[in-house]
Amino acid sequence: MTKIPIIIDTDPGIDDAMMLILAFANDHAFDIRLVTTSAGNISQDKTNYNTRAFLSYIGANVEIARGLESPIIYEIEEAEEVHGESGLGNVQFLTPTLPISYRTAITAMLETILKSDEKITIVSTGPLTNIAALILAHPEVKAKIERISWMGGAAVGGNVTPTAEFNAYVDPHAVEIVFRSGLPIVMSGLDVTHKAFITIDEMKNILNKDTDLTQKLNQMVEFYLKNIKKTPFHEENYDKVLHFHDVCAVMYLLKPDIFEGQDYYVEVELEGVTVGTTVVDYMEKTGKVPNVHVLYEVSREAFVKEFKKAVEIISERIS
C-alpha cells in the first residue's frame, strides 16, 4: 500500500487529540511529513504546547511548527468552555520532548511541499488561517497539493451560532481564500461529524483496558461531556454521545469508502449575524461550478471500529 504523504494542521483541543491518535496509529497508510499548529480552540501558545506534549507522549517523531497567532482579520475567539483552560480538559502531560521547530508553519509547509516528489495532502482540523496564508504568500505550492481535508463548516446548522460552525466562524476570511483557491477540498462539516458519533457504551468498550492512555482519554471524555451545551434543537441523545468532529478529516483519507459526499459550490459569509456560515448550494440553484466535496453520511459502525483499533495500537506502543 502506498502511503499518503500528509501535513497536519491542528489546534488541540480534545477532539484534535483523538484525530492525532487515528493519524499516528495508521503509519502504514500515512507518511506524516509535518505537523503545524493553529490558534483556534485555544491560543497558539497552548495549541503548540499541547501538540508537542501529546505527540511526545504517544511516541511520535515529527517536526512541529508554530503557526499564526490569530485569524487573518478578526480577533481570535477560543473554546475553553468546551476544551478547558489548557485545551485538553483536566489531563496533564509531561513536559514535551519534541521541540518547537526553528521554522514557522508557513515556511515549513512551503519547504516540505516543494521538496516532495509526490503531491501532499493537507489535513486541517482547526481554522484555515495557516493554509490560507500559505496559499496567499506562495501560490506556487498549489500545483503540489493533492487536496485539503478540512473539518469545518456545515450545510445545515451551526454549533457556535445558529448557522456557523466553530472553525469557519473563527476565520471566515481564511475559508474564503481556501475555497477560492481552485484546490480539491473535502469538507467534513457538522452534517457528517454529528453522524460519526460514539455512544457512551461504545467508548467504555474502547477504553476498557486499563492503560495510561485510556485513563487519560477517560478524563478527557468526562470533561467533554460535562461541558457540552445542549439546546432544545439538538437531537435527544446529543449529550449522551461523543462527537469527535476532527477525527473525520483523517478517517476520510483512511477509509473513504465509509463516507458519502457530493461536489457542491460553497462560499462563506464574511460579516453580520451569519458570519462564518458556509453556504452550500446543495439544491444546485446558483449555477456555479462546484468547488468543495461535501461529506454528509458515514457508516458509523465502521467509523467506531477504526477508532477503537487506533486507540489499541497507540496504547500498546506506549505501554
Q: CA distances (Å), 18 to each of 104, 245, 273, in order?
A: 25, 9, 32
Per-residue pLDDT tens digits for 26-47: 999 999 999 999 987 678 898 9
Which CATH superfamily does the domain covering 4-318 fall into?
Answer: Ribonucleoside hydrolase-like (3.90.245.10)
- The residue annotated as part of the active site, out of 83, 194, 243, 245, is 245
Q: Report the distance separating Cα 114 and Cα 120, nearest Å.
A: 9
Cα distances (angstroms) measured from residue 262 to each of 204, 215, 259? 34, 39, 10
Neighbours of 81 (CB within 10 A): 9
pLDDT of residue 13: 83
pLDDT for res 24: 98
Tell me the whole-structure pTM to 2 decimals: 0.95
User: Three-state SS for 267?
Assistant: strand
Q: Within a 10 A sphere around the Cβ of 224, how many other Cβ atoms?
A: 19
List CB contacts of 255: < 8 A, sequence separation 6 or more.
302, 303, 306
C-alpha cell belonging to residue 56: 511526545
pLDDT of residue 234: 62
CB of 86 closer than 8 Å to CB of 50:
yes
Residue 9 above 90 pLDDT?
Answer: yes
Mean model confidence pLDDT for the chain: 92
Q: Which among 89, 22, 8, 80 is positioned nearest to 51, based on CA atoms? A: 8
Q: Please state, in angstroms and rounded to a whole number, the distance separating the CA atoms of residues 26 and 151.
A: 19
Q: Answer yes or no: are the C-beta atoms of 103 and 36 closer than 8 Å.
A: no
What pLDDT digit, counting tens, does each position of 188-228 carry? 999 999 999 999 999 999 999 889 999 999 998 888 887 77
Highest mean pLDDT among 32-41, 116-125, 233-242: 116-125
Task: Say which residues have a Cβ less than 8 Å from residue 185's Cβ, sequence separation at least 6.
Answer: 147, 148, 150, 178, 179, 291, 292, 293
Overall residue count recorded for the chain in this entry? 319
Dist CA 175 CA 197 (whole Å) = 25
What average pLDDT does range 43-72 have in this prediction?
A: 94
| pLDDT of the residue at 89 | 76
Our answer to whether residue 245 is catalytic in this structure is yes
Residue 111: how many CB atoms within 10 A of its CB? 14
Q: Which residue's C-alpha cell is 504523504?
A: 5
Q: What are the domain boundaries of the chain?
A: 4-318
The three-class DSSP label of residue 63 is coil
Indicate the residue type of 114.
L
Question: Which grid coordinates belong to 312?
Answer: 489499541
What is the C-alpha separation between 233 and 215, in angstroms, rounded?
33
Per the DSSP assignment, residues forming a β-bridge with 198 are 242
DSSP state of 240: G
pLDDT, tens digit (0-9, with 9 covering 90-100), for 275-310: 999 999 999 999 999 999 999 999 999 999 999 999
Under the banding of pLDDT at 50, 70 and 90, the label for residue 82 is low
Per-residue pLDDT at 233: 57
The dihedral sign for the CA sequence 231, 282, 188, 252: positive
3-state secondary structure of 144: helix
pLDDT given for residue 288 in this prediction: 97
DSSP assignment string, 211-228: -HHHHHHHHHHHHHHHH-
CA distance 152 to 127: 8
